[in-house]
Amino acid sequence: MGKILVSNCTECTKFQEMGHDYDHLLYKMAKKGKCDYCGAIFGNTHLEKPYNWSYKSISSPFLDKHLSGIASSLEEFNHDFTNPEKTAFIMMKLPDDSFTPREKEANKHILDAITFTLIKNGFDGVRADHKHYHSDLLPNVMTYMEGCGFGIAVFDERGKNNPNVSFEAGYMLSSSKEVCFLKDIHLGALHADVISKLYVDFDSKNPQVSIEQNLSKWLNDTF
């Protein structure tokens, strides 16, 4: 049985159980201090800050088939990261034997800058090689995609044509999760399946400064 996040808004009952999209809207309204629909001030009788997240079961043959295979790994992930809405799945090309020493170093600097920025803004960030929650590759990646509340997709010289990053970002978007598309300013156009997305620029030659500034803005605007 699949699950979606639902809100605990106690006054705007007609907007309850609309799934993650409305939860995200509630989160934005909570930052303003009142409900856009009924005008209620968020407090004990409306929506606590931080508000409580809950899960509602949904039935889907696709989800049931694939999620049943990661039940134990997802449980372990949720034990390690207890606040999914505060945990980002960092989607980027993982270093392998084809990387030069300089490319491995650049990849690490980008990851470090993202992780630092997330922590600075009160979030966690994990990459698929953080821990093997499942012995098979796809179920392991699905554990991260299902367990994290939002994603950060990195497109640099090594990752611009990486189908894994596009697949992972698309999966999270289809789950109504926010995805930040980080694009190196030194890259040209990307492939068609992601070219229409709005990007957050960063400079791979100076990732710490550019990512901290631009990703922080995206986090603040989004959450």
pLDDT tens figures, 157-208: 765 556 788 889 988 888 888 999 999 998 876 654 555 567 889 999 899 9
Paired with 184 in beta bridges are: 202
Is 65 inside any structural domain? Answer: no
User: Domain for residue 86, yes or no?
Assistant: yes
CATH number of residue 217's parent domain = 3.40.50.10140
Does some domain include residue 79? yes
Same-domain check for residues 91 and 44? no
Rounded to an integer, what distance in angstroms lies between the CA atom of residue 61 and that of residue 45? Answer: 38
Q: Where are the alpha helices (DSSP H) in the chain?
A: 20-32, 61-67, 71-80, 101-120, 137-147, 163-174, 207-222
Question: Which token pair is 66?
Answer: 């694939």
Q: What is the pLDDT of residue 188?
A: 74
Residues 75 and 55 in one domain: no
Cβ-Cβ contacts under 8 Å for 49 (sequence gap 6 or more): 30, 42
- Write down the mean pLDDT value for the chain: 75
Same domain, 11 and 118: no
pLDDT digits (tens, 9 = 90+) for 18-59: 444 444 555 555 545 555 555 555 443 333 333 333 333 344
Based on the fold, state whether residues 80 and 180 are members of the same structural domain: yes
Do 172 and 214 share a domain, yes or no?
A: yes
Instruction: Find the domain containing 189 and state its range.
Output: 71-222
Amino acid letter for position 43:
G
119 and 51 fall within a common domain: no
pTM of the model: 0.70
Domain count within the chain: 2
Residues 115 and 190 in one domain: yes
- Between CA 5 and CA 8 the distance in angstroms is 10
In a domain, 66, yes or no: no
23 domain-assigned: yes
Say yes or no: 46 and 8 in one domain: yes
- Pairwise CA distance, residues 114 & 171, whole Å: 21
68 pLDDT above the threshold of 50: yes
